[in-house]
Amino acid sequence: MHFGTLSLPARLFLLSWHPEKRKFSGGPDLHLTVRAGALAELAGRGLLVEADRVVAPAAVGDRTGDPVLDALLELVEQSRPRTWRGWITHRSRATLNAVRADLAAHGYLREGRRRVLGLFPARHWELERVGYAEALHAEALAVLRGPRPVEEVDA
């Protein structure tokens, strides 16, 4: 995985990095955003189709080569039919955890341990490639606030 080859859900997760606070601040619904990004990428690649508001794989056994997207595609193949909304919410934290694990495996994140209230063990994630997240933020802000027009942004 190079800088330019991150999947949409991975980039959405990295956009939750708050540069001023130097921490992730995605909020309680980050897992839904990441899952929606994964579904959008699979649909954009033509691997998911919709018929009568029900999402289904275009062909059983197709894979992307990305472990996060492939796991979600396999889940869609093996589960009962659902709408887009149903797929965004169904076991969406698994996709967030898979994105974190994949980013950690490729050196973007590092898992840290800490204690909450001095008693309860908790995990937190530290960004290893801060420059990459800052570049993603700058690109997103250039589109949202100008001067870069939306028409020039890759699909």
Report the 3 state secondary structure along the chain: CCHHHCCHHHHHHHCCEECCCCEECCCCCHHHHHHHHHHHHHHHCCCEEEECCEEEECCCCCCCCCHHHHHHHHHHHHCCCECHHHHHHCCHHHHHHHHHHHHHHCCCEEEEEEEECCCEEEEEEEECCHHHHHHHHHHHHHHHHCCCCHHHCCC
In a domain? residue 121: no
Domain containing residue 51: 3-107
Q: Number of structural domains, the chain?
A: 1
In a domain? residue 9: yes
Single-letter amino acid code for the residue at 2: H
In a domain? residue 31: yes
In a domain? residue 13: yes
Q: What is the pTM of this model?
A: 0.88
Q: Tens of pLDDT along the chain (155 residues)?
A: 344 689 999 999 999 998 888 888 878 899 999 999 999 999 999 999 999 999 999 988 788 999 999 999 999 999 999 999 999 999 999 999 999 999 999 999 998 888 888 889 888 888 999 989 998 888 888 888 877 777 877 76
